[in-house]
Amino acid sequence: MGAARRFKQVDVFTGVAFKGNPLAVVLDADGLSDAQMQAMARWTNLSETTFVLTPRDAQADYRVRIFSPDTEFPFAGHPTLGTAHALLEAGLAPRRAGTLVQECGVGLVPIDVGADGALAFRAPAASLAPLALQHQPLLARVLPGTVIDAGCTPLIATMGIAWLVVRLASAQACLDARVDGAALQELTRLGVTGVAVYGPHDAGGPADYEVRALFTKHGSLVEDPVTGSANACIARVLAAQGFPDGGETSRAYSARQGACLQCDGRIAVTYIDGEPWIGGQSITVIDGIVRV
């Protein structure tokens, strides 16, 4: 029997259980091998499982490794917020009041600790590249019949994970979008994790933007309930494209994700000194120990 290690399962980007994106967190992961971490991530069968380790960088409050059932990621958004939530709930005291510093595969990621319990991470830098002209017919096959906003070039945004960010004509177009899984799998062979589509809501809507993030897994089409990295990439793209909607969205905006899956993820994006911070609530639904 393995050692008893503190374990939580957290629902991220929601204050209501079972409406966000679940994450498994092993809080005492020092001493675990790569193989053990991968085996546990495979066993939880969640999109990600995180393992909290002693930091190597003196500026960090903790180090985290992020595993899917199949591989390790250098960074992912909802695991960043969910891990920080789990650690604060378990009693971690930040070295600097109001801020946690996470060490992960992309370096140090600061996390703001809000008075209301919401957390927000500063989006890592992203490289942005337009989808090559010869691959644009492939995008049309990925999103058959979908009205893409002609004023905003689809961009591949890479921050450890690479999302093809595509702006659609409206939030309803985002909700109605059909995705061809076979074409999307072909697109991922170009080094893209998946496609992140978004569209603006009318004034008075549930959020400023509707977001969906889709990818393929073992040949099948998968939609993510709420995706921190995809929203971080969208935030970087919006800034790079000059905030097509103008007004308040140049400083802060809200997004909803997961409606097509009967989820209700809520993301708050704020720009501080030009840098996007991706925030939201988290809630713990399982709290105990795991023997590994």
| Catalytic residue set | 48
Identity (one letter) of the amino acid at 13?
A: F
Sorted by sequence, the CB contacts under 8 Å of residue 266 that are 6+ apart come out as 13, 14, 207, 254, 255, 256, 280, 281
Tokens of 241: 């494209």
Distance from the first to the final alpha carbon of the chain:
7
Sorted by sequence, the CB contacts under 8 Å of residue 132 that are 6+ apart come out as none
Radius of gyration of the chain (CA): 18
Tokens of 68: 């899917």
Tell me how crowded residue 142 is: count the other CB atoms within 10 A of its CB. Answer: 27
The answer to whether 236 and 126 are in contact (CB under 8 A) is yes
Bridge pairing between strands 209-217 and 252-257: parallel
Of 82, 28, 89, nearest to 280 (Cα)? 82
Sorted by sequence, the CB contacts under 8 Å of residue 215 that are 6+ apart come out as 184, 188, 193, 194, 195, 222, 224
